[in-house]
Amino acid sequence: MKEFNWRAIDLNLLVVFNALVEEKSVSKAAEKLNISQSAMSHSLSRLRTLLDDPLFERQGHIMVPSQKSIDLTPVIASILNQISQQVLRTGAFEPKEFNSTFKIGLTDYAELLFAPILFDVISCLAPQSQICFYHVDKSNFEQVFKAHHLDLMLGSINNEYKNFNRAHVYTERHVCLISKLQI
């Protein structure tokens, strides 16, 4: 896959595209975004070059979207929604509104102890979310964490890994019981 030059992209162009879709007019879209009509026209020109499509054609007093614009409209709306909801969100995290996936790495023993409880609590507090458990152990946790972009890991992990924020969650005391042997 060809490396993409992100530095050449102005993500504000997505906002411009969205305003043009909603307003169907360069003037009204410019007004909505509080920019000049010439700035809006310039942004539309940059969008057309970037996407290699006319995107909108003037028919009378309205801008009619091309097929590519029609196809891109839900994609760009979704991207802008994700940015506003997940990147730029201000205020406290609201679990009931969270509609993404919690990715949690668990060792075998941690899965036995915590998976049912985590599932029940997360399902109750964030009913629109999904939960995905990943098996981790002392030898693969770093690779699994990076490969799947985990949110959390639970298990006994060596202290030598300083790239992770860690907290002590629980302590156990194991006891062995045996019966007296009759001699």
Confidence of residue 6 (pLDDT cuts 50, 70, 90): confident
Predicted local confidence at residue 159, as pLDDT: 62
What's the whole-number mean pLDDT along residues 128-137?
Answer: 93
Select from 29, 60, 87 the last residue of a domain: 87
Per-residue buried b or exposed e for 161-181, using 16+ beta carbons within 10 Å of the residue's own CB: eeeeeeeeeeeeeeeeeeeee
Select from 32, 59, 87 the last residue of a domain: 87
107 and 183 in a single domain? The answer is yes
Confidence of residue 162 (pLDDT cuts 50, 70, 90): low
- Lowest-pLDDT choice from 15-24, 92-101, 105-114: 92-101
Q: Answer whether 0.85 is exceeded by the pTM.
A: no
Whether the per-residue pLDDT at 1 is higher than 60: the answer is no
Q: What is the CATH number of the domain that holds 18?
A: 1.10.10.10
Whether the per-residue pLDDT at 5 is higher than 90: the answer is no
What is the domain extent for residue 70?
8-87
Predicted local confidence at residue 122, as pLDDT: 94
Share of the chain above pLDDT 70, in %: 93
Could you report the per-residue pLDDT of 27-53, keeping only the tens digit for each? 999 998 889 999 999 999 999 998 999
Could you report the per-residue pLDDT of 60-88, keeping only the tens digit for each? 989 999 999 999 999 999 999 888 877 88
The answer to whether residue 1 sits within a structural domain is: no
The answer to whether residue 31 sits within a structural domain is: yes
Nearest alpha-carbon partner for 139 in 107, 179, 162, 116? 107
Predicted local confidence at residue 161, as pLDDT: 63
Predicted local confidence at residue 30, as pLDDT: 92
Select from 87, 121, 140 the last residue of a domain: 87
37 and 111 in a single domain? The answer is no
